[in-house]
Structure 1
Amino acid sequence: MRKMNGEEFDELVSFFDAMARTTWLKEVHDTLKETTGSWVDKEVLDVGCGTGRLLLRGAEEAKRLVGVDLSSEMVKASIQQFFYHELSSKSEFLVADAENLPFKDEEFDLALSTCVMFLLPDPRKGIREVHRTLKHDGMIAMLNPTEKMSQETALSFGKEHGISGFERTALLKWSNVSTRRHRYTENEMTGLLQDLHFREIKHQEVLGGLALITTAKKEQNS
């Protein structure tokens, strides 16, 4: 499976920012934020931050916010976003590869990754890197498509929930990419995270079971 590069995403900044503002993805982001609890005094990393909209949800609470993306244009958009919200002083955005994060061991309390790990040729490498950068007892929170995700099921979900126009287009594009990359059952994701020394693994279905929010904590002695 070919590894994607930053330039492929550079021209999609407007699309991804609009997708982050769709009703369906906003609801998923809200659920993910709720699932991770309070960000007060936490150092939070978003791997594949896009235009930074997920990090904005806990920006007032968090002690420090760091976003990385393979696309330099996404990073520029995130920097601009946080400047506009007067949050530049507590945020940092960098061009970086999920498989080679430019941070020291045990630096973050919480690491987010939505719609990213499943794109990697080997998601283990990205999750292992997140594990390295998390403090003991730190949490990972991810969004990934399930084995139920497909063009047909996404279209059916869209019709059932009155999703139309650009919102439907964005959902169908995501489903199309998913079928060419990685999709997971709860058991597969649990096994993967256990192998990589995470515990307290919890799953929550979203989008009618087409995607999965997964949270887990780093093992104390790993």
Structure 2
Amino acid sequence: MRKMNGEEFDELVSFFDSMARTSWLKRVHDTLKETTGSWKDKDILDVGCGTGRLLLRGAEEANKLVGVDLSSEMVKASIQQFFYHELSGKSQFLVADAENLPFEDESFHLSLSTCVMFLLPDPSKGINEINRVLKKDGLIAMLNPSEKMSQETAAQYAKENDISGFERTALLKWSNVSTRRHRYTADEMTALLEELHFSEVTHKEVLGGLAIISMAKKEQDS
């Protein structure tokens, strides 16, 4: 499986920012924020931050917000976004590879990753890097497509939930990429996270079971 590069995403900034504002992805982001609890006084990392909209959800309470993305244009958009919201002082955005994060060990309390790990040829490399940069007892929270995700099931979900226009197009595009990359059952994701030294793994289905939010705690002795 070929590894994607930053330039492939540079031209998609507008699309991804619009997708982050769709009703269905906004609901998923809200659920992800609720699942991770309070960000008060915490240092938060978003791997594959896109245009930074997920980090905005806990920006007021967090101590520091850091986003990395392969795309320099996504990073520019995030910087601009946080400047607009007067949050430049507590945020940092960098061009970086999920498999080689430019941070010291045990730097963050929480690491988010939405719609990223399943794109990697070997997702375990990205998850392992997240483990490295998390503090002891730090949390990982990911969004990944489930084994139920496909063009057909996404189209059916859109129909049942009156999702149309651009919102439907974005969902179908995501489903199309998912079927060509990685999809996970909850059991498969649990096994992968436990193998990579995470514990207390929990999952929450979103989008009618087409995707899952997985959360786990870094093992003390990892």
Equivalent AA in structure 2 for residue 188 of structure 1? E
Determine helix, strand or coil for the equivalent of 1:93: strand
Residue matched to 1:71: 71
Determine helix, strand or coil for the equivalent of 1:77: helix
Shift of 1:38: 0.2
TM-score, normalized by length of structure 1?
1.00
Shift of 1:203: 0.1
Once the two structures are superposed, what CA deviation does each residue of 1:9-40 show, in whole Å capped at 9, x if it has no partner? Answer: 00000000000000000000000000000000
After the TM superposition, which residues 23-38 of structure 1 pair with which residues of structure 2 at under 5 Å, given as runs? Answer: 23-38=23-38
Residue matched to 2:138: 138
Once the two structures are superposed, what CA deviation does each residue of 1:99-128 show, in whole Å capped at 9, x if it has no partner? Answer: 000000000000000000000000000000
Inter-partner Cα distance in structure 2 for 1:139 and 1:174: 25
Residue matched to 2:163: 163
Q: Are 1:49 and 2:49 matched, yes or no?
A: yes
Q: Are 1:153 and 2:153 matched, yes or no?
A: yes
Residue matched to 1:91: 91
Residue matched to 1:209: 209
Inter-partner Cα distance in structure 2 for 1:159 and 1:130: 36
Determine helix, strand or coil for the equivalent of 1:124: helix
Equivalent AA in structure 1 for residue 51 of structure 2? T
Shift of 1:199: 0.4
Inter-partner Cα distance in structure 2 for 1:18 and 1:110: 25
Inter-partner Cα distance in structure 2 for 1:214 and 1:179: 19
Equivalent AA in structure 2 for residue 140 of structure 1? I
Equivalent AA in structure 1 for residue 150 of structure 2? S
Equivalent AA in structure 1 for residue 113 of structure 2? S
The gaps in structure 2 that reach 5 residues or longer are none
Determine helix, strand or coil for the equivalent of 1:86: coil
Equivalent AA in structure 2 for residue 146 of structure 1? S
Once the two structures are superposed, what CA deviation does each residue of 1:69-118 show, in whole Å capped at 9, x if it has no partner? Answer: 00000000000000000000000000000000000000000000000000
Inter-partner Cα distance in structure 2 for 1:107 and 1:38: 18
Inter-partner Cα distance in structure 2 for 1:133 and 1:68: 13
Shift of 1:180: 0.2
Residue matched to 1:110: 110
Residue matched to 2:220: 220
Once the two structures are superposed, what CA deviation does each residue of 1:118-160 show, in whole Å capped at 9, x if it has no partner? Answer: 0000000000000000000000000000000000000000000
Sequence identity percentage: 82
Residue matched to 1:126: 126
How many residues align? The count is 222
Inter-partner Cα distance in structure 2 for 1:212 and 1:96: 25
Inter-partner Cα distance in structure 2 for 1:221 and 1:197: 8
Determine helix, strand or coil for the equivalent of 1:200: strand
Inter-partner Cα distance in structure 2 for 1:157 and 1:206: 11
Give the alignment's Cα RMSD to 1 decimal.
0.2
